Amino acid sequence: MQAILMAAIPMAKVHVRDAEGRELSPTTREKAERLVADGQAEWVSQEPPTIRLHRSIPMPEPAAPEPHPLDGKRVLLHVCCAPCATFTAQYLREQGADVTGFWYNPNIHPYSEHERRRETLRQYAEEIDLPVTWEPGYDMPDFLRAVCAQEQQGERCRVCYHMRLERAARVAAERGFDALTTTLLISPYQNLDAIEAIGRELAEAYGIEFYFENLRRGFREHHHMAREHDLYQQHYCGCIYSEWEALDREATTRRGRRNGRRNGPGDGDAPASGYTG
């Protein structure tokens, strides 16, 4: 009967296990029959066709995973707000980075909003034992001068990225950090290409590394974490223009609009008032 069954499906692949039951590469029925005939194996099943060898096969050790690029490095993490720091700081720490937060956001307006976000980060940093370097003062006038005549969404954002990351890069270099990155990389509302280009340019100028990774996959999780820690979640990016755009879809500084008109098809819109990071 066994011979009839074997002949019925001569081309079928035969599963192979070693003496310890570990699955090996399949073989042909012809070779399986030869192993059984030579006393090196025995049939354990005909459906699916399976043989077990009478000896153990040495298995190669799995290759050690490649370490993360930030493993063991001191990383200065520019923090735009506490909610965006939740997932980002946790993720970087999980990769082996020694993370220190850095607060410098002169774009945030008004001053009361700046202080509320700053205080929220202070409380959260204490909860997760995250050291933070706090840039003193409030450089909002410098920010407004920098974006003068570049108030359009997108244009001013590049100026803002440069202003914040330049200060972060300077501090990272002065204090001996290995790398710089930013929580801005988690937000679908930010221009990651511009952030990466500006970050790399500044890092090269200051002799450090800018770590770029698209962290938007953690955006939903960061909302969950922010609620879990009862963090204040803002409803606009930070500057006075973004607040206007979040509340008024006719704001002339919106991307693609000037003098109340769209510049052309395909231009993106600013986030609605539900913005939280």
Mean pLDDT estimate for the chain = 89
Which tens digits make up the pLDDT trace of 110-155? 999 999 999 999 999 999 999 999 999 999 999 999 999 999 999 9
Which tens digits make up the pLDDT trace of 247-263? 999 999 998 655 443 33
Global pTM reads: 0.75
Q: Give the model's pLDDT for residue 250.
A: 95
Q: What are phi and psi of 258, to 5 degrees?
A: -145, 135
- Joined together, the tokens standing for residue 4 give 């009839």
Q: Give the model's pLDDT for residue 277.
A: 64
Which tens digits make up the pLDDT trace of 48-98? 998 898 988 888 877 878 889 999 999 999 999 999 999 999 999 999 999
Residue 87 half-sphere exposure toward CB, CA atoms < 13 A: 21
Q: Give the model's pLDDT for residue 276.
A: 59
Poorest-confidence range of 37-46, 172-181, 254-263, 267-276? Answer: 267-276
Which tens digits make up the pLDDT trace of 202-230? 999 999 999 999 999 999 999 999 999 99
Domain parsing of the chain, residue ranges: 13-53, 74-262
Mean pLDDT of 162-187: 98
- Joined together, the tokens standing for residue 261 give 């008109």
d(CA 31, CA 48): 16
d(CA 173, CA 211): 14
Q: Give the model's pLDDT for residue 11.
A: 59
d(CA 54, CA 101): 59
Q: Give the model's pLDDT for residue 4.
A: 44
CATH topology of domain 74-262: Rossmann fold (3.40.50)
Which tens digits make up the pLDDT trace of 3-55? 444 444 455 799 989 888 889 899 999 998 898 898 898 999 888 998 898 98
